[in-house]
Amino acid sequence: MVKLERLSADHAEALLAFERENRAYFARSVPDRGDAYFTAPGFAERLASLLAEQQAGVCHFHVVLDEEGNLVGRVNLIDVADGCAELGYRVGERAAGRGVATAAVAQVCRLAATDYGLTSLTAVTTLDNTASMTVLARNGFIRVGNTTVDGRPGVRHLLRSLATTAGVTSRA
Protein backbone atom coordinates (compact mmCIF):
# COMPACT_ATOMS: atom_id res chain seq x y z
CA MET A 1 0.00 0.00 0.00
CA VAL A 2 1.25 3.45 -0.84
CA LYS A 3 0.48 6.73 0.87
CA LEU A 4 0.23 10.20 -0.66
CA GLU A 5 1.34 13.27 1.23
CA ARG A 6 0.87 16.80 0.01
CA LEU A 7 4.27 18.23 -0.91
CA SER A 8 5.83 20.39 1.79
CA ALA A 9 9.21 21.90 2.56
CA ASP A 10 9.76 18.96 4.94
CA HIS A 11 10.11 16.67 1.89
CA ALA A 12 13.01 18.64 0.37
CA GLU A 13 15.90 16.37 1.36
CA ALA A 14 14.16 13.09 0.51
CA LEU A 15 12.76 14.50 -2.73
CA LEU A 16 16.14 15.74 -3.95
CA ALA A 17 17.70 12.35 -3.11
CA PHE A 18 14.88 10.61 -5.00
CA GLU A 19 15.31 12.83 -8.06
CA ARG A 20 19.09 12.37 -8.09
CA GLU A 21 18.85 8.59 -7.65
CA ASN A 22 16.37 8.27 -10.52
CA ARG A 23 17.69 10.93 -12.89
CA ALA A 24 19.02 8.53 -15.54
CA TYR A 25 15.99 6.26 -15.21
CA PHE A 26 13.54 9.12 -15.74
CA ALA A 27 15.57 10.58 -18.62
CA ARG A 28 14.83 7.41 -20.61
CA SER A 29 11.18 8.40 -20.93
CA VAL A 30 10.87 12.10 -20.08
CA PRO A 31 13.10 15.10 -20.78
CA ASP A 32 15.93 15.60 -18.28
CA ARG A 33 15.49 18.57 -15.95
CA GLY A 34 19.03 19.88 -16.43
CA ASP A 35 22.03 19.99 -14.12
CA ALA A 36 20.91 23.08 -12.17
CA TYR A 37 17.78 21.27 -10.96
CA PHE A 38 19.90 18.65 -9.18
CA THR A 39 22.04 21.10 -7.19
CA ALA A 40 20.93 22.01 -3.67
CA PRO A 41 20.39 25.73 -4.45
CA GLY A 42 18.64 25.06 -7.77
CA PHE A 43 16.40 22.43 -6.24
CA ALA A 44 15.53 24.63 -3.25
CA GLU A 45 14.55 27.45 -5.59
CA ARG A 46 12.37 25.17 -7.69
CA LEU A 47 10.73 23.64 -4.60
CA ALA A 48 9.90 27.11 -3.24
CA SER A 49 8.29 27.96 -6.58
CA LEU A 50 6.22 24.76 -6.54
CA LEU A 51 5.05 25.37 -3.00
CA ALA A 52 3.99 28.91 -3.96
CA GLU A 53 1.97 27.52 -6.88
CA GLN A 54 0.38 25.00 -4.55
CA GLN A 55 -0.46 27.70 -2.00
CA ALA A 56 -2.13 29.71 -4.79
CA GLY A 57 -4.26 26.67 -5.74
CA VAL A 58 -2.83 26.49 -9.26
CA CYS A 59 -1.32 23.05 -8.66
CA HIS A 60 -1.48 20.19 -6.16
CA PHE A 61 1.79 18.32 -5.64
CA HIS A 62 2.17 15.04 -3.75
CA VAL A 63 4.92 12.64 -2.79
CA VAL A 64 4.31 8.90 -2.83
CA LEU A 65 5.57 6.95 0.16
CA ASP A 66 5.92 3.19 0.52
CA GLU A 67 4.96 1.14 3.60
CA GLU A 68 8.23 2.07 5.32
CA GLY A 69 7.76 5.78 4.64
CA ASN A 70 10.38 5.96 1.85
CA LEU A 71 9.71 8.41 -0.96
CA VAL A 72 9.17 6.28 -4.08
CA GLY A 73 7.32 8.62 -6.40
CA ARG A 74 5.48 11.82 -7.14
CA VAL A 75 1.98 12.51 -8.42
CA ASN A 76 0.85 16.00 -9.34
CA LEU A 77 -2.16 17.91 -10.58
CA ILE A 78 -1.06 20.97 -12.51
CA ASP A 79 -2.72 23.89 -14.27
CA VAL A 80 -5.91 23.67 -12.24
CA ALA A 81 -8.67 25.64 -13.94
CA ASP A 82 -12.42 25.31 -14.50
CA GLY A 83 -12.67 22.01 -12.64
CA CYS A 84 -9.89 20.35 -14.63
CA ALA A 85 -6.19 19.68 -14.14
CA GLU A 86 -3.40 17.80 -15.87
CA LEU A 87 -2.12 14.72 -14.10
CA GLY A 88 1.59 13.94 -14.01
CA TYR A 89 3.41 11.23 -12.10
CA ARG A 90 6.70 9.42 -11.79
CA VAL A 91 7.73 6.37 -9.81
CA GLY A 92 11.35 5.53 -9.05
CA GLU A 93 13.06 2.58 -10.66
CA ARG A 94 13.12 0.49 -7.47
CA ALA A 95 9.33 0.72 -7.14
CA ALA A 96 8.46 0.38 -10.84
CA GLY A 97 6.28 -2.52 -11.94
CA ARG A 98 4.76 -3.08 -8.49
CA GLY A 99 1.46 -1.24 -8.85
CA VAL A 100 2.72 1.90 -7.12
CA ALA A 101 1.79 4.26 -9.98
CA THR A 102 -1.65 2.68 -10.41
CA ALA A 103 -2.39 3.01 -6.67
CA ALA A 104 -1.00 6.57 -6.45
CA VAL A 105 -3.03 7.73 -9.46
CA ALA A 106 -6.18 6.16 -7.98
CA GLN A 107 -5.58 8.01 -4.71
CA VAL A 108 -4.95 11.36 -6.39
CA CYS A 109 -8.11 10.92 -8.49
CA ARG A 110 -10.10 10.54 -5.27
CA LEU A 111 -8.39 13.60 -3.78
CA ALA A 112 -9.03 15.56 -6.96
CA ALA A 113 -12.77 14.95 -6.61
CA THR A 114 -13.18 15.12 -2.84
CA ASP A 115 -10.58 17.65 -1.66
CA TYR A 116 -9.88 19.78 -4.74
CA GLY A 117 -13.35 19.85 -6.33
CA LEU A 118 -12.16 18.78 -9.77
CA THR A 119 -14.45 17.12 -12.29
CA SER A 120 -11.99 15.90 -14.94
CA LEU A 121 -8.31 15.20 -15.48
CA THR A 122 -6.11 15.03 -18.54
CA ALA A 123 -2.78 13.26 -18.96
CA VAL A 124 -0.21 12.95 -21.73
CA THR A 125 2.22 10.10 -22.37
CA THR A 126 4.70 9.33 -25.06
CA LEU A 127 3.44 6.73 -27.50
CA ASP A 128 6.14 4.26 -26.43
CA ASN A 129 5.35 4.51 -22.71
CA THR A 130 3.02 1.52 -22.51
CA ALA A 131 3.41 1.21 -18.74
CA SER A 132 2.08 4.72 -18.21
CA MET A 133 -0.77 4.17 -20.65
CA THR A 134 -1.69 1.02 -18.70
CA VAL A 135 -1.74 2.97 -15.42
CA LEU A 136 -4.08 5.52 -16.95
CA ALA A 137 -6.39 2.87 -18.46
CA ARG A 138 -6.60 1.03 -15.13
CA ASN A 139 -7.77 4.28 -13.57
CA GLY A 140 -10.51 4.95 -16.11
CA PHE A 141 -8.73 7.35 -18.47
CA ILE A 142 -9.58 7.05 -22.13
CA ARG A 143 -7.39 7.86 -25.09
CA VAL A 144 -8.73 10.99 -26.78
CA GLY A 145 -6.09 11.93 -29.32
CA ASN A 146 -2.53 12.16 -30.46
CA THR A 147 -0.02 14.84 -29.54
CA THR A 148 3.71 15.31 -29.26
CA VAL A 149 5.83 15.31 -26.12
CA ASP A 150 9.09 17.16 -26.65
CA GLY A 151 9.08 16.21 -30.30
CA ARG A 152 8.15 12.57 -29.68
CA PRO A 153 4.80 11.05 -30.67
CA GLY A 154 2.40 11.13 -27.75
CA VAL A 155 -1.11 10.31 -26.64
CA ARG A 156 -3.59 12.52 -24.78
CA HIS A 157 -5.88 10.89 -22.20
CA LEU A 158 -8.99 12.12 -20.39
CA LEU A 159 -10.85 11.11 -17.24
CA ARG A 160 -14.35 12.60 -17.25
CA SER A 161 -16.93 12.49 -14.49
CA LEU A 162 -14.20 12.36 -11.89
CA ALA A 163 -16.64 12.33 -8.96
CA THR A 164 -18.29 9.16 -10.27
CA THR A 165 -14.95 7.48 -10.99
CA ALA A 166 -13.60 8.39 -7.55
CA GLY A 167 -16.70 7.01 -5.82
CA VAL A 168 -18.00 10.42 -4.78
CA THR A 169 -21.77 10.70 -4.92
CA SER A 170 -22.19 14.30 -3.82
CA ARG A 171 -20.12 17.25 -2.71
CA ALA A 172 -21.41 18.97 0.43
Q: How many domains does the chain have?
A: 1
What is the Cα–Cα distance from 142 to 163, expressed in whole angstroms? 16
19 in any annotated domain: yes
- The CATH code of the domain that includes 142 is 3.40.630.30
170 in any annotated domain: no
23 in any annotated domain: yes
Which residue range forms the structural domain that includes residue 63?
3-165
**Mean pLDDT per 10-residue segment, the chain (172 residues):** 95 95 89 81 92 96 97 98 96 95 97 96 93 95 93 93 56 34
What is the Cα–Cα distance from 73 to 93, expressed in whole angstroms? 9
pLDDT, residue 168, reads: 43
pLDDT, residue 163, reads: 64
Strand order in the sheet with 3-6: 3-6, 60-65, 71-81, 84-91, 120-126, 152-159, 142-149
99 in any annotated domain: yes
Tell me the angle at which helices 12-21 and 40-55 cross, rounded to the nearest 10 degrees.
120
Mention every residue, 6+ apart, whose C-beta is less than 8 A from residue 52: none
107 in any annotated domain: yes
